[in-house]
Amino acid sequence: MAGPDKGFSRWLLATNHKDIGALYLWFSFAMFLIGGSFAMIIRAELFQPGLQLVEPNFFNQMTTMHGLVMVFGAIMPAFVGLANYMIPIMIGAPDMALPRMNNLSFWILPFAFAILVSSLFMEGGAPNFGWTFYAPLSTTYAPPSVTFFIFGVHLMGISSIMGAINIVATIFNLRAPGMTLMKMPLFVWTWLITAFLLIAVMPVLAGAVTMMLMDIHFGTSFFSAAGGGDPVLFQHIFWFFGHPEVYIIILPAFGVVSEIIPTFSRKPLFGYASMVYATAAIAFLSFIVWAHHMFTVGMPLVGELYFMWATMLIAVPTAAKVFNWITTMFKGSLTFETPMLFSIAFVFLFTLGGLTGLMLAIAPADMQYHDSYFVVAHFHYTMVAGAIFSISASVYYWLPKWCGRMYNETMGKVHFWIAFLGFNLTFFPQHFLGLAGMPRRIPDYSIQFADFNMISSIGAFIYGLAQLIFLFNIIRTIYFGEKTTKEQTWESARGLEWTLPSPLPFHTFERPPSIK
C-alpha cells in the first residue's frame, strides 16, 4: 500500500513498516477466511441433530483447527499488522526499530500455518484434541500430526516474541522529541503493555509443547499419570499462558476503540491516565487468575476461593474502561460512521461478554457452566465482538490513511448491520443451550437443543456473508475508491491530530539512509 510497486521481491524483502503491516493484515484476513470456513463446517453439522456431513473425528479436527487458526493466525497477526503500520506514525518514528527482524517475524508465520493446516492431509488427520490441546489427549492419544502441530506452535511463538521485542524497542527508543510516555496515543500504550505480556508468556507455551514432545517421543512422563506425572499440570502451564493470551488479544482492541470513539464524539478521551493505569492493572491481574478455567479439576477450596475473587477483581479496571468510553460519548457531538458503529457495538457486546465472564467466575456455578455452550458463547462475545469487531473498526478508520482512498460508507454500514445481526443470532442462543446443559465440542446432540442450534447455524452463515462484503469493500476501495486528502481523514476531522513537534506527511515519509 505504500511506495512504488517492485514486484514480489518488494514484499519478500520488505523492511518498511507499512509494507510489513500490510502483509500482516492480508495474511490475517486469509487466515480469518480459512478459520471461518472451518467454523462453517462445524455449524453446518450442528444445523440439526444427527450426523449428516462429517465424521465425529473430523468434527473434532475442525473445532481444533478453527480455534488455533482464529486465535494465532487471524486475530494476533491482525493486531501486529496494525501495530506495524500505525505505531511509527503515531509516535513520529521513521520506522520500526529493527526492520529486518520485522521482516523475518512476518515470513515465519506463513510457514508455521502451512505446517498446521497441512496436518489435515496427514495420516490420522489433523490434531483432534481442541485448541487447548489438553494432555493426555494431545500426548498419549494424539494422532501423528501432533508433532507438526508442536513445530508450528514453536514457529508462531518465535514470530510473536520477535514482533513484541521490536514494538518495545520502537516505542522506547524512537519516539519524537517531546512525546513522553503519557502523551502517547492509547493504541500505542495498549500495544506496549501487550508486547510485555507476549514476551512473558510465549516461552511458557513453548515449554508446554516441548514437554508434550518429550512425552510423545522421548519416554518422559510430565503429563502421564502412569509414569508419575500429572495431566492437571498441563492445564496449569497452558492456562498460565492462555489467560494472559486472552488479554494479548483484547488489549490492542481497547486501544483501537480508545482512538475511534473520541474522533466521532468530537471530544478528547475521558480519563486518559486512568485508561493507561487500567490497562496495566488488567495486564498484571491476567497473570494471577489462570485457574478459573480449572474449577472442576478438584483444587482445594482455598484455591477456588482465591481464583474466584481474583477473577471478579479483574472486572474492576475493565469496567473503568467501559465507563470512560461511555463518558467520552456523553454529550459529545456524535456521528455514526462505520468505525463508530463497530466501536459502539464493541463496547456493548464486550460488556455483555464480561458479565457472562463474571457468572463463570463463581466457582460453584461454574461447576454447571463448565464445558457447556455457555462458555462458547461467553468467549465469542469477548473474542469476536471484541477482537474482530475492533479490527473491522480499525480497518475502516485507517484505510483512507493507508491507501489515500475513501471506502464506500453505505457498503460499510451494510457490512456492520449484517455482521451485528449474524453475530448475535449465532452466539446469543448458545447461552441458553449451555444453561440447558448442551456440552461443547460434540457433533450430535439431543432433540431439545435443535431449535437454538438451527438459529445459531443460520446466524453463522449470515456472519460469514458479512465478511465477504467486507473483503469486497476493501478491494473496491484500494482500486476504485474516491481519492482523499489528509484533511479528510478521521483524526483531522475532530481537530485532534496527533500532537507531534512538526507535521509528518503520511504518504511521503521516508526513512533516513541509516535505516534503509
127-182 pLDDT per residue, tens: 999 999 999 999 999 999 999 999 999 999 999 999 999 999 999 999 999 999 99
The pLDDT score that the predictor gives to residue 259 is 96
Q: How far apart are the first and last CA of the chain?
A: 18
Contacts of 51 (CB under 8 A, 6+ apart): 45, 443, 444
Helix (H), strand (E), coil (C) string for 444-498: CCCHHHHHHHHHHHHHHHHHHHHHHHHHHHHHHHHHHCEECCHHHCHHHHCCCCC
Q: Going from the N-terminus, what domains does the chain have, and what CATH number goes with each?
A: 13-499 (1.20.210.10)
> Is a pLDDT exceeding 80 seen at residue 498?
no
Among candidate residues 109, 101, 110, the one with its CA nearest the CA of residue 168: 101
What's the mean pLDDT in 76-103? 96
List the grid coordinates of 300.
482445594
List the grid coordinates of 150.
508442536
Residue ranges in 174-271 assigned as alpha helix (H): 186-217, 231-265
Averaged confidence pLDDT in the chain = 92
The pLDDT score that the predictor gives to residue 7 is 67
Instruction: In whole angstroms, give the CA distance from residue 328 to residue 475.
Output: 33
Residue-wise pLDDT for 311-364, tens only, equals 999 999 999 999 999 999 999 999 999 999 999 999 999 999 999 999 999 999
Residue-wise pLDDT for 284-300, tens only, equals 999 999 999 999 999 99
Please check whether residue 47 is in contact with residue 12, taking contact to mean a CB–CB distance below 8 angstroms.
no
What's the mean pLDDT in 501-505? 36
What's the mean pLDDT in 263-283? 96
Residue-wise pLDDT for 190-249, tens only, equals 999 999 999 999 999 999 999 999 999 999 999 999 999 999 999 999 999 999 999 999
Largest CA distance in the chain: 68
Place of cell 478528547: 268
Q: Which residues are catalytic?
A: 66, 95, 131, 159-160, 243, 245, 247, 258, 292-293, 318, 321, 440
Q: What's the pTM value of the predicted model, to 2 decimals?
A: 0.92
- In angstroms, the Cα distances linking 420 to 232, 296, 346, 423, 428 are 38, 34, 10, 5, 11
- In angstroms, the Cα distances linking 221 to 133, 144, 150, 234 are 16, 18, 17, 11
The pLDDT score that the predictor gives to residue 486 is 60
The pLDDT score that the predictor gives to residue 491 is 55
Class of residue 293 by CB neighbours under 10 A (exposed 0-12, middle 13-18, buried 19+) = buried
The pLDDT score that the predictor gives to residue 490 is 55
Please check whether residue 230 is in contact with residue 211, taking contact to mean a CB–CB distance below 8 angstroms.
no
Instruction: In whole angstroms, give the CA distance from residue 470 to residue 412.
Output: 7
Q: pLDDT band for position 2 (50/70/90)?
A: very low
- In angstroms, the Cα distances linking 295 to 222, 240, 310, 362, 367 are 21, 14, 13, 9, 7
The pLDDT score that the predictor gives to residue 506 is 37
The pLDDT score that the predictor gives to residue 484 is 80
Within a 10 A sphere around the Cβ of 279, how many other Cβ atoms? 25
